A and B are shown apart, each in its own frame.
Chain A
Amino acid sequence: MTILALLLIPLLASAVTVGLRNVRRMELVYLLSAAGSFVAALWLAADVLSAGPVTLAGGFFYADHLSALVAVLTAFVYLVSAPYAVGYFRSDEQQPASAISARKLREYYALTPLLGFSMFLVVVSNNLGVMWMAVEGTTLASIFLVTFYGRGTSLEAAWKYAILGGVGLSMALFGTVLTYYAAHEVLGGESLSVLNWSVLAASAVHFDKTVMRLSFILVLLGFGTKAGMAPMHTWKPDAYSEAPIPVSALMATAVVNCALYAVARFYVLTGHALGTSFASQLLVLFGLLSVGIAVPFILVQRSYRRLLAYSSIDHGGIMVLGLGFGGPLGALGMLLHMTFYSVTKPLLFFCAGNAQQQTGNDSLKRGPGGLLHSLPVSAPMFLLAALALTATPPFSMFQSEFTILRAGFAAQRVGAVILFVVLTVAIFCGFFYHVANLVFGPPSAGPRGESSRWKTYPVIVLSLIVVVLAFWLPAPVYALIDGASRILVIQP
C-alpha cells in the first residue's frame, strides 16, 4: 500500500496542477505532494526495515532495502527543493525583465511531480523493462524543465540532453533485451515475471556468460549516460547550468541516484552470472575516467553552475568506483556516499541559486566576489557546503570516501586508489579556490541581504543536517544503508 501511495501522490499532484490557474494553489499542491511523498517513502523504509522486502500486485512492484534507501533519498531531495522552488520562482517573477508567466510556472509545478513519480517508479518496479521505461520517463519529464527559461542556450542544452539521453537509453534497452534473452533460455516462458529482478537474481548463476557480458556493457553505457559518466557526460554541464536551480538539484542528485540504482541492479545479475571481476573492472575504469575528466574542467571553470555540474560527474564517478571495488566495504561506501551526497549537493545548488539571483550572473571570473557582504546566510553556508562536498574532515563525505578507499585496498587495486586520491585532492584545490574567491573579497555594489525566507530556510535546515551528519548517523538510516549494501555484495 505504501508503494501505491508513493507513486500516486506525485502523479495526482501533477494531474491536479494541470487544471489550476492560480500560482499560489499550484505552490500549495506542490508542497503537499513533496511532504506526502516523503512521508510515504519513510513509511516504506520503516516497512522494509521491520519486515523485509515488500511486494505488491503479484511481485510487479518490489521494494527491498536498496529501493527504500533510494526512494527516501529521492523524496528527501524532492522535499527540500519544494519550498526553495517556491521562493526561487517568486524572486524570478520580481525580476524586472522576467518573462515568467503563470503558464510557465504551471509547466514547472506539473512536470516536477511527474519527474518525482518516474523516479519512484524506477526504484519500486521489480520488472527490469518497467524500470527502463521509468528511467526514460525521467528524461521525458525533464526535457521541458531544462528549457524553462526559453533562451537559445537552454534549447541547445535540452536538445543535447534529449538526444544523448535517447541514444544512451536505447543502449540500456538493448542490454535489458539481452538479459531477458539470457533469462528466457534458462527460465523459459513468455510471462512477465521472467523480467522480474527478484526472479532473475535467484537464477542468474545459470545465465549465458557471453550474453550477460555484452548486456552489462550496454547497460553500463546506457544508464551511465543518464548518470553522466564520462565520456557520455557532455550534456550534463549544459543541462544543469540552464535548468532552474531546483530542477538542477533534483537532476544532480535524485536522477543520478536512480540511474546508478539501475546500474547496481544489473551489476548484481552480472556478478552472479560471471563473477565480479569483469563488471568490477569496467566500473573502476568508468569511475576513474569520470573523476579524472572532472579535474581540468573544475580547475579552469568560469561559471559556478557548471562547476557544480562537473563536481556531480566527479561524485557519480566516486560512487561507481565504490561499486566497482566491491566487497562489503565497497558497497557500503557507495551507498554512504550516495546518502551524504544527496544531502550536501542540494545545499550547494541552493546557495549557488541565491548567489545567482542576487548578482544576476553565475560567472566566476567577472563576478563581483565578496558574497559574504551581500548574503549573510547563504555565503558562509556556500563555503561550508563546498568543504563538505570536497570531503574535508570532519564532514561525512570524508568517511564515505575513506570507506571506498579501504575497499580499494581490500580489493588490491592500489594503483586505482592512488590515482583516485590524487584526482580528489586536485578537485578539492580547484573547487575550494573558486568558492573562496566567490565568497570572500571586497563588498560589491548591488542589493544586500537575503531576498526571501523561502530561499533561506532550506539552506539553514540543510546546513544543520550536513553538520549533524558529520558526527551522528541515525541508527535506522544506517540500518537501511547496511541492509542495502548487503544486496550489492556478491558471494563468490
Chain B
Amino acid sequence: MFWQDPQFGNKLITMMAALVLVLQIMMVAQRWLVTNIRAFGVQSFLLAAIAATIAHFNHAPHIYIVAALTLVFKAILLPLVLERMVTKIEMQQQMEPFVNVPVSVIVSGLLTLLAYVVAESFHRPEEASGMGHNTLDVAIALFLIGFFMMVNRRKALTQVLALLCLENGLFLAAISLTYGMPLIVEIGIFFDVLVATLLLGILIYRIRETFDSMDVSRLSRLRG
C-alpha cells in the first residue's frame, strides 16, 4: 500500500518542505503582520506534519511526541498569543521593512540558492535513499532568510517572528539530518523557545509603554 512505501513518504516530505519554503518567502513578501503570524502558524503545522511522516515511515515513535509538541505550541498556541498581542497593543498592521518588497524577494531567492550550495557539501550518494535528507537545503534556506528578516524589520514583534522562523529552520535541519535530537534535548529547546518568546513579549509591552512605539530603530540612544 502507498502509505507503507518509503518512496511515497519521501515525495510527501519533499512537497511539504517546498511549501514551507514558499510560506517563508511569502512572509518576506507581504506586509500585513497578522497574515505573517498566520503564515508562521501554517509553516509550523507543516513542520509537525513532516516530523509525523518521518516518525511513521521510520518507525521512530519518539518523533511523534516532537511532532505533537510542535503542533500544539508552535502551530496553535504561539500564533494565538502573538495575534492577541497585535490586537491588544493596537499597533499599525504594516511591516515597514528597510528594504522594499521586490528587492527582499530577490534577496530571499539568492539566499535559497546559497543554502543549496551549502547543503550540497552534505550530500552523500550512498545515503540518497535516506528519508528527508533532501530537506536540509530548505532548512538552511529558512535559517538564512530568517536572518535577513531579522535585520530587515523595524517592529519589535516582527523581529520576534523572525527569531521563531530561524528556530523553525533549525527544527527542520535537526529532523532531516538526524531524525530529531534526543527527546529530552528537544523538549528542553521547546521550553527555551517558549520562555524566550514570553520574555520578549513582556519586554515589548514595556518598550511600548516607555517609548509609545514599537519601532526598534528608535532604540538608538546608546552609542560608542
| A190 engages B203 (CB within 8 Å) | no
- List chain A residues, Cβ under 8 A from B4: none
- A–B complex contacts, Cβ < 8 Å, 30 sampled: A127-B184, A129-B188, A129-B189, A136-B192, A136-B196, A140-B192, A143-B199, A147-B203, A150-B206, A153-B221, A153-B222, A155-B219, A156-B220, A156-B221, A158-B203, A162-B203, A163-B150, A163-B159, A166-B200, A173-B170, A174-B143, A177-B177, A180-B178, A190-B182, A192-B183, A195-B181, A210-B121, A214-B118, A214-B121, A302-B224
B8 an interface residue at 8 Å Cβ cutoff? no
Mark interface residues in A131-156 (1 if CB within 8 Å of B CB, else 0). 01100110110011001001011011
Q: Which of B175-196 contact A (CB under 8 A)?
A: 177-179, 181-185, 188-189, 191-192, 195-196
Q: Are B224 and A297 neighbours in the complex by a CB distance under 8 Å?
A: yes
User: Is the CB of A238 closer than 8 A to any CB of chain B?
Assistant: yes
Q: In the complex, which residues of chain A have a beta carbon less than 8 angstroms from the beta carbon of B219? A: 155-156, 159-160
Ranked 9 nearest A-B pairs via Cβ: A129-B185, A156-B219, A181-B177, A133-B188, A192-B182, A238-B222, A136-B192, A184-B178, A170-B166
The answer, yes or no, to whether B34 is at the interface (CB within 8 Å) is: no
Residues of A within 8 A of B195 (CB): 140
Contact indicator B166/A167 (Cβ below 8 Å): yes
CA gap between A297 and B199 in the complex, in Å: 31
Q: Which of A78-131 contact B (CB under 8 A)?
A: 127, 129-130
Proximity bits, A361-372, B CB within 8 Å = 1, else 0: 000000000000
Asked if A388 CB lies within 8 Å of chain B CBs, one says no
- B125-178 contacts to A, CB under 8 A, are 143, 147, 150, 156, 159, 163, 166-167, 170, 173-174, 177-178
Do B170 and A170 touch (CB < 8 A)?
yes
For the complex, give the distance between the alpha carbons of A166 and B160 in Å: 9
- In the assembled complex, which residues on chain B have CB atoms less than 8 Å from the CB atom of A345? none
Are B182's CB and A191's CB within 8 A?
yes
Q: In the complex, given contacts A162-B200, A177-B173, what are 6 additional A-B residue pairs having Cβ atoms less than 8 angstroms apart?
A: A140-B192, A159-B216, A177-B177, A195-B182, A210-B121, A302-B224
Secondary structure at the A interface, as helix, strand, loop or mixed, is helix
Q: Which residues of B contact A237 (CB under 8 A)?
A: 222, 224
Q: Is A211 an interface residue (CB 8 A)?
A: yes
- Which chain B residues have a beta carbon within 8 Å of chain A's beta carbons? 60, 62, 118, 121-122, 143, 147, 150, 156, 159, 163, 166-167, 170, 173-174, 177-179, 181-185, 188-189, 191-192, 195-196, 199-200, 202-203, 206-207, 210-211, 216, 219-222, 224
Interface range for A:
35 or more
* Bound form: Cα–Cα A195–B186 in Å: 12
A143-B203 contact in complex given A130-B188, A156-B222, A181-B177, C-beta closer than 8 Å: yes
Chain B interface secondary structure, helix, strand, loop or mixed? Answer: helix
Asked if A194 and B199 sit within 8 Å, CB to CB, the answer is no
Kindly state whether residue A343 has any CB partner on chain B within 8 Å.
no
A162 CA to B160 CA, complexed, in Å: 10
Give the complex CA separation of A174 and B181 in angstroms.
Answer: 11
Most chain A CB within a 10 A radius of its CB, from B62, B159, B203: B203
Contact indicator B192/A133 (Cβ below 8 Å): yes
- Tell me which residues across on chain A come within 8 A of B185, comparing CB atoms: 127, 129-130, 133, 192, 195
A351 at the B interface (CB under 8 A): no
**Residues of chain A lying within 8 A (CB to CB) of residue B182:** 127, 129, 190-192, 194-195
Determine whether A73 belongs to the interface, using a CB cutoff of 8 Å to chain B.
Answer: no
A152 B210 Cβ-Cβ under 8 A: yes
- Determine the chain B residues whose CB is within 8 A of the CB of A139 once the complex forms: 196
Q: Is the CB of B156 within 8 A of A190?
A: no
Q: CB-CB < 8 A to B177: which residues of A?
A: 177-178, 180-181, 184
- Complex Cα spacing A252 to B178, Å: 36
A162 shortest CB reach to chain B, Å: 6
Whether B211 lies near A152 (C-beta < 8 A) is yes
Contact B224 A306 (CB under 8 A): yes
User: Smallest distance from the beta carbon of A326 to chain B beta carbons, Å?
Assistant: 26
- Most chain B CB within 10 A, of A140, A157, A190, is at A190
A180 CA / B122 CA spacing, docked (Å): 14
Decide yes or no whether A354 CB sits under 8 A from chain B: no
Check: A374 CB closer than 8 A to any chain B CB.
Answer: no
Q: How far is the CB of A44 from chain B (nearest CB, A)?
A: 23
- Bound: A178/B167 CA distance, A: 15
The reply to whether B196 and A159 contact each other, CB–CB distance below 8 Å, is no
Q: From residue A117, how far is it (CB to closest CB) to chain B in Å?
A: 14
Q: Nearest chain A CB to B33's CB is how many angstroms away?
A: 17
Residues of A168-220 contacting chain B, CB below 8 A: 170, 173-174, 177-178, 180-181, 184, 190-192, 194-195, 210-211, 214
Residues in B whose Cβ lies below 8 Å from that of A166: 163, 196, 200
A177 touches B207 (CB 8 A): no
- A195 vs B181: C-alpha distance in the bound complex, in angstroms? 9
Residues of B within 8 A of A133 (CB): 185, 188-189, 191-192
Tell whether, in the assembled complex, residue B173 and residue A174 are in contact, meaning their CB atoms are under 8 Å apart.
Answer: yes
**Cα separation A237 to B224 with both chains bound (whole Å):** 8
A215 to chain B, nearest CB (A): 11
**How many angstroms from the CA of A157 to the CA of B221 in the assembled complex?**
10
Whole-angstrom distance from the CB of A171 to the nearest CB of chain B? Answer: 9
Whether A301 is near chain B, meaning CB under 8 Å from some CB there, is yes
Contact of B178 among A158, A162, A173, A181 (CB under 8 A): A181
A408 CB, min distance to chain B CBs, angstroms? 31
Residues of chain A within 8 A of B192, CB atoms compared: 133, 136-137, 140
